[in-house]
Amino acid sequence: MNKNILILLIFTAITTVLSIRIGIISNTMFIAATATQILLNMTCTQCTCIGLMSSAVGWNCMIINNTCYLIQNYSSNDTGLIRTDNGTFFFQQYPLEPLITTTTIVGFFFKCQPPFFE
């Protein structure tokens, strides 16, 4: 029984968990003055992986047409949030403008690994 405890302790010491908070606002899209990158045929999970790896401050996932809009930074020229039935706005950094809508921070786990395009 001591060997099992030792193995568990070694496994626990070696395993590192990386956690990143991502804000999500459903039925919303953030209209930026310039979208850094527009990706087609992307799931929201793939869009989130690309957004995190490219250090985007936010990204829109359009569910109906599987489109991902990456936003590298916000500007005073941005239109801001608009309501849409088929989109979700994800963000690492909250937009600078005051928001009227409520936000929910949720946690979900997935593994980011290529290939992103299937």
* Reported pTM: 0.67
Give the chain's count of helices (H) and strands (E): 2, 6
Angle CA(87)–CA(88)–CA(92) in degrees, nearest 5?
A: 150
Neighbours of 74 (CB within 10 A): 19
pLDDT tens digit sequence for 72-85: 988 888 899 999 99
Identify which of 24, 26, 35, 48 has the alpha carbon closest to the alpha carbon of residue 78: 35
> Following CA atoms 47, 87, 75, 22 in sequence, which dihedral angle do they give, to the nearest 10 degrees?
-50
CA–CA separation, 107 and 103 (whole Å):
13
Structural domain boundaries of the chain? 26-93
Q: What is the pLDDT of residue 33?
A: 87
Q: Report the CATH superfamily, name and number, of domain 26-93.
A: Hepatocyte Growth Factor (3.50.4.10)
